[in-house]
C-alpha cells in the first residue's frame, strides 16, 4: 500500500501528526494560528511543511492533495471547564470549516478529537448535530470516548475521537483499538531539571490548611512514597498513585514525590505523558518556557491514542483493498 498523506489541522504542537507519522503516513502541511505553538511544532517536527494558518480563511483550492484530515477542533466551547456555549461561540464553528475542506477536497478519511464533555453538551444535541453534519457529507462515522491511560501513558485523559470513512469505500466496519498496558510512571516523571517544591511556601502551606484540606493530609507520609501525584488545581487536594490527572491548557499545579522530595511537573514531563518520545522532547528542552510548554502539552492530542486508532484504520484499508 502506498504511503497515505495527511494534513494536520488545529495542529497545536503536533501530537496527532506524530501519531500518524509513527504509522508511516506522510504529513504534507499543517494549520495552526498560535505562533508560540507553531514555534514548538517546528522544533519537534523538522520537515518544515507550510503552515496554512487560520483554517477558516484557507482557500481550499490552494491546499495540497492528501488522503486523511486530522484535527483537534477547539474544545473550549464544549468542555466542562469552559462556559459550554457550543455553537453559539465562534470557536465552535471550526467544525464547519473542517467539513468544507473535507467536502471540497473529497478527502477519503478523517480523525477528529474533542473533549469528553462534547458527548453531553446541550443534552447531546451538539454531538447529534456534528454527527449529522459529517454523515450528510458522505461519511460513515464512528466515535468513541477513549482514555489515554489505556494506551501506554499514565495519564487519565478521556477524549472523544471520531473516525470518518467515505461511504463508498466501506466494505467492513472499523474496529476501535484494544487497550494496551501502561508503562510505569517512572519512565515519564524523569526530568532532572524539574523544579523542587518548597514545602514552606506560604501559598502551599495556606492551601494545605484551607477548610477542605486541614488535618486530612500528612506530608511526611505522602513524601515517604515515590510517585504520589498531587493535584492542587482544585480547592481540595487530590492524590493519585502512579498516574497523572488530565493535563490541561490553562490550569497547572500537578506535583509528584520522588526520593523524599516534592517536584512540580515540568513541560518536558508533560510531553512524555502525551506520548512524545524523549528524543523529540529533548529538542524543546530549555528552548520553550516551561509554563508555555505545559499549556501546549495540555492542549495536544495523545500520540499513543492516535497511533492506535490509525493502525486500526490502516488494517481496514488494507483488508478492503485486498478484497
pLDDT tens string 103-160: 999 999 999 999 898 888 777 788 888 898 899 999 999 999 999 999 999 999 999 9
75 is catalytic: yes
CB atoms within 10 A of CB 205: 12
- The percentage of residues in the chain with a pLDDT greater than 70, rounded to a whole number, is 93
pLDDT tens string 248-289: 987 789 999 999 999 999 999 999 999 999 999 999 998 999
What mean pLDDT do residues 87-97 have? Answer: 65
- The SS3 of residue 302 is coil
- The SS3 of residue 140 is strand
Cell of 218: 500528612
pLDDT of residue 171: 72
Beta bridge partners of 224: none
Q: Euclidean distance between the first and final Cα of the chain, in Å?
A: 14
Residue 79 phi/psi, 5-degree rounding, is: -75, 150
Q: Supply the pTM of this predicted model.
A: 0.92
Catalytic residue among 75, 182, 310, 316: 75
pLDDT tens string 278-316: 999 999 998 999 999 999 999 999 999 999 999 999 998
What mean pLDDT do residues 226-248 have? Answer: 95
Rounded CA separation 108/169 (Å): 8
Rounded CA separation 4/1 (Å): 8
Q: Are 152 and 303 in contact (CB under 8 A)?
A: no
Rounded CA separation 181/175 (Å): 19
Amino acid at each position: 500500500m502506498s504511503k497515505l498523506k495527511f494534513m494536520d489541522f488545529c495542529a497545536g504542537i503536533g501530537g496527532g501528526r506524530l501519531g500518524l507519522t509513527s504509522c508511516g503516513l506522510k504529513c504534507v502541511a499543517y494549520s495552526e494560528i498560535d505562533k508560540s505553538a507553531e514555534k514548538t511544532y517546528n522544533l519537534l517536527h523538522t520537515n518544515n511543511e507550510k503552515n496554512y494558518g487560520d483554517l477558516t480563511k484557507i482557500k481550499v483550492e490552494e491546499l495540497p492533495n492528501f488522503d486523511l484530515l486530522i484535527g483537534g477542533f477547539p474544545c473550549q466551547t464544549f468542555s466542562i471547564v469552559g462556559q459550554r456555549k457550543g455553537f453559539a461561540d465562534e470557536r465552535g464553528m471550526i467544525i464547519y470549516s473542517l467539513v468544507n475542506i473535507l467536502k471540497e477536497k473529497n478527502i477519503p478519511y478523517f480523525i477528529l478529537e474533542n473533549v469528553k464533555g462534547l458527548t453531553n453538551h446541550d443534552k447531546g444535541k451538539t454531538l447529534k448535530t456534528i454527527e449529522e453534519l459529517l454523515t450528510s457529507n458522505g461519511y460513515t462515522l464512528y466515535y468513541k470516548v477513549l482514555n489515554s491511560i489505556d494506551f501506554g501513558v499514565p495519564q487519565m485523559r478521556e477524549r472523544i475521537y471520531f473516525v470518518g470513512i467515505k461511504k463508498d469505500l466501506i466494505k467492513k466496519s472499523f474496529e476501535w483499538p484494544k487497550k494496551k498496558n501502561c508503562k510505569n510512571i517512572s519512565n515519564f516523571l524523569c526530568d532532572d531539571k524539574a523544579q523542587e517544591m518548597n514545602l514552606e511556601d506560604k501559598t502551599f502551606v495556606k492551601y494545605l490548611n484551607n477548610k477542605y484540606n486541614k488535618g486530612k493530609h500528612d506530608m511526611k507520609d505522602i513524601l515517604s512514597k515515590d510517585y504520589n501525584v498531587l493535584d492542587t488545581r482544585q480547592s481540595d487536594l487530590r492524590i493519585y498513585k502512579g498516574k497523572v490527572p488530565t493535563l490541561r491548557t490553562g490550569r497547572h499545579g500537578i506535583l509528584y514525590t520522588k526520593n523524599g522530595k516534592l517536584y512540580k511537573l515540568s513541560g518536558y514531563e508533560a510531553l512524555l505523558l502525551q506520548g512524545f518520545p524523549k528524543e523529540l522532547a529533548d529538542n524543546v528542552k530549555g528552548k520553550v518556557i516551561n509554563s508555555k510548554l505545559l499549556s501546549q502539552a495540555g492542549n495536544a492530542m495523545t500520540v499513543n491514542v492516535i497511533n492506535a486508532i490509525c493502525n486500526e484504520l490502516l488494517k481496514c484499508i488494507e483488508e478492503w483493498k485486498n478484497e
